[in-house]
């Protein structure tokens, strides 16, 4: 196949400079929310929280401004 590589095209540059960082940010956000959800579920189940470091549970009624 001739022509420029994907990363050399305008679409490739947008993908690597915009789309990929956005995906990584959303995956991090998803992981943070999942950790909080597990901590809350463990609290409701009456189990001690897992040994996950840095899991911060929100105060009751906090919906992160959404």
Q: Which residue has the tokens 């994907």?
A: 6
pLDDT tens figures, 22-57: 999 999 999 999 999 999 999 998 866 666 555 565
Tell me the whole-structure pTM to 2 decimals: 0.60
CA distance to 20, 22, 31, 44, 58, per residue, from 36 (Å): 25, 21, 9, 12, 8
Break the chain into its structural domains and give their ranges: 6-45
How confident is the model over 4-8, as a mean pLDDT? 95
């Amino acid at each position: 196949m001739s022509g420029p590589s994907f990363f050399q095209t305008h679409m490739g540059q947008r993908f690597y400079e915009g789309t990929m960082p956005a995906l990584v940010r959303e995956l991090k956000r998803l992981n943070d929310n999942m950790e909080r959800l597990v901590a809350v579920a463990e609290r409701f189940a009456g189990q001690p929280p897992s040994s996950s470091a840095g899991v911060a549970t929100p105060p009751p009624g906090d919906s992160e401004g959404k």
